[in-house]
Structure 1
Amino acid sequence: MKKFVVFFIGLLILFSCGEDKKIDLPKTENLKASIPEIIYEFGYKLNDYKVIKDTIKRGESFGIILDRHHVFYPKINKIAKTIKDTFDVRRVRAGKPYMILAKKDSTEKAQVFIYKDSRATATIVDFQDSTITAYKYRKPIKVVEKEIAGEIYSTLSEAMDSLHLNPNLTYAVADIYAWTLDFYKLQRGDKFKLIYEEKFIDDTIFVGYGKVKAALFNHNRKDLYAYRFIPDSIKGIPEYYDEEGNMLRSQFLRSPIKFQYRVSSRYNLKRKIAYYGRVKPHRGTDFAAKVGTPIMATASGTVVESARRGGNGNYVKIRHNNIYSTQYLHMRKRKVRKGQYVKQGDIIGWVGMTGNTSGPHVCYRFWKYGRQVDPFKQKLPSAKPLKKSLKPAYLKFINPLEEQLNNIPYPEKKAPESVKILAQN
């Protein structure tokens, strides 16, 4: 009996001690917080290095930066010589961001230099081992298809800007319709729709536009379709065609200025100069634009004249073939020389006021069989049409795009200010 009592008392003491003595186990979230996050960037595990991020200052060089991070000049010279075909260290520019991956010890010696060319690309110089390497790195780009519709109230630029679209997309649209649409004649109420691509890195950082896959411009109540299509899979050069397979591009652009211009004076053989009270023919078309606006070759050809002379000021003349030639007068500066071959859309000079002119513009002159004519009254040759054998495949290709375009709603009409005021009253 005594033994049982002693055993029972021992159990009570044991349990009472167990209640008083609590063991604190670590919480799950504390365990997670204590495990460092593993970070990879540019293909490197950043946890293994001391990471230094900075921007190149004025007067700094590749050598100065590495020297500051404990790489000595004999090694710096060896790196520069080894990688010169991939990366010219003399071309590092002030303002560009860079990253140094250094040793995680007392020396903190640089092991990798990462020069950020752009938000999407970088040049990586790795010299942590005996082998020195340099290569280009491009961050994975996510391409997202977008749809947009807009209405013209003043200019294409203002309409695109109101939709918070980058000017680069405006230029792309202007290039697509450069042969078929006179942007000077856009009217209030004209509308457009676009199917295009936007590019992102890290899912959220916008790095530019991709392809404009399809477009629709409603001008003067007429629909002008444009579809991107590659007619030759070997050459891989895209062109834009309408809904019937006709190429939008023609042999000549409608204007030597992209789209920010106005026609200040047209071809007119009976033009009367008010100051002198006499008739003086104007055998050109004047496109008024700001000084410094780029002037484009309206078609491919060979420069036959590039000079400064008399009332023409700085001018360029291009022979396109045995039928057509064009001339561009009053340039601030010429970019091409005699004998040079230029392609359609190449910049040949900039708008100025040289020669006899009362304001900044380019006087565009057009020759046909050696006689100056009005380019807007000529039936100009188109580029090569889509081959008949490709047309069935093309029509099948554009069918879903056409349906997609037609289903994009135009923006709702904005009520005039007078209507808004009446509604408020």
Structure 2
Amino acid sequence: MFQNSRQQGYAEDFSQGGGANGALVLAKANRFRPITRIADSEWAAKVGDRFATTDIVVDLGVRIGSRTWWRGLATCIGLCTAAALFTPGFEPLPVQYGRPLSGAEWDEARSLSIAPLGLGADSGRRLAPTEAVEPLADTPERPRVEMSATIGQGDGFARVLERAGVSKEEARQVSNMVGGAVPLGDLRSGTRMDLVLGRRARKSDPRPLETLGFRAKFDLKLAIERVDGNLRLKRIPIAVDNTPLRIQGRVGSSLFAAARSAGMPSDAIQAFIRAVAVKLPMRQIGSDARFDAIIEHRRAETGETQTGQLLYAGVTQGGRKTQMLRWSAGGRDKWYDAAGTGETRGAMSRPVQGYMTSSFGMRRHPILGFSRMHQGMDFGAPMGAPIVAATDGVVVFAGRHGGHGNYVRLNHSGGIATGYAHMSRIIARQGERVRQGQLIGYVGSTGMSTGPHLHYEVYRGGRPVNPATMSFTVTDQLGGADLARFKAKLSNLLAVRVTAAEPKVEKKTEEHAEAAAPAAKGAEKKRPSKS
């Protein structure tokens, strides 16, 4: 609070004087203090205290009937009344608006708004047309439509054409034409077809097929064209180079890893290990040995390549060479060494699922009543149980054979033969070549038999032997014209030049070694031994 000059003078007099004179000067000075300021500050303090002690929001659930409760009720009623007085009426305000837009006008207006984006641009317009735009009586059509279709897994050839827009009649006609050139079942899934559909007379009609082209086989393309209104099939051969792929390299610490790094497919590596293990165990192959593999390989003039099965497997270790060639004999592919010697792995299998009732040797005949030599083994089995060939062979007899009843005899390699007697029905035919496990007849009780069973015989060099002691491998030896053709094929394959380069460094990992171990182990387990 500021003091004027007069008040300052009184203050100085008071400070200079003393006693009663000082008190008199102070009393005079107090007459000039602003009294209104004191009153305002005191009033504000009183009002602030009043509001501080006043509860504006009263809890109407307590102290019912008190002055505070009645004041809170009056406040609530006043607020509700004020809210009701300021509430607008329920009658809508009248607004002037134009007539609703028609369908065409609405589409035109919507094409200029953001609605086409939200609705997927279904208006079909980019800008609203002006008066210069004239509507067309009919929309024009493209004269031809080019498209491609793909054959799916388990899909039908005609069905693919129908989905592309070809009529059912033309699709069936094209399917028959293609089926005459190549079996439709040989068409691989994923084959792509290029189609061209022509002009149609009416929009409701399917478009006619003008051209169709696709690759039916690795060395053949098929094309269908419409000439003078008729569809014609055209074969387009693809030149293919069938030169085999030859891969060589050093074994190192792992044959599998070395062959894989040299570019040999994994399937061919597994076949290589199995083929070589017939003559040479994997554990005997050293790190300095060299491998030589020849694989079927086809290269088309269009650039595609196709790898087939392994044809030749060889290992050179020091002065020893192991050469194995795949050769087809008797309808089955087998591995033969350079001398034309091959092996069929595995021993004789049980000819029927049953229990042995009589063994090989002297016994009392159940019908004749005297002892004589029993030249086989009897297996008890139910009537009609299947009988299979014990191993690969050729049927030399199939028919009625005295006390044997219905009897089948098979000749095998190495002077081995087997006989099957008392059949109820014979399936094998004389002169037929059968494989191990192939059905040759059914259990019966024909001939001198007291009940359904199989009498099984084994002969070596024409003399009967105990079937229980037979455990052998059949060795195949090529000769004559077959051996000459075999050696000619081997010479042609060995003349193939090496295609893949040998890797400089063959650092093997445990993963490759572990991957090769099961294959080598399985191959050694299957390696036969003569007895």
Measured against the shorter chain, the TM-score band is 0.3 to 0.5
TM-score (norm 1): 0.44
Q: Which has more radius of gyration?
A: 2
TM-score (norm 2): 0.37
Q: Which has the higher strand share?
A: 1
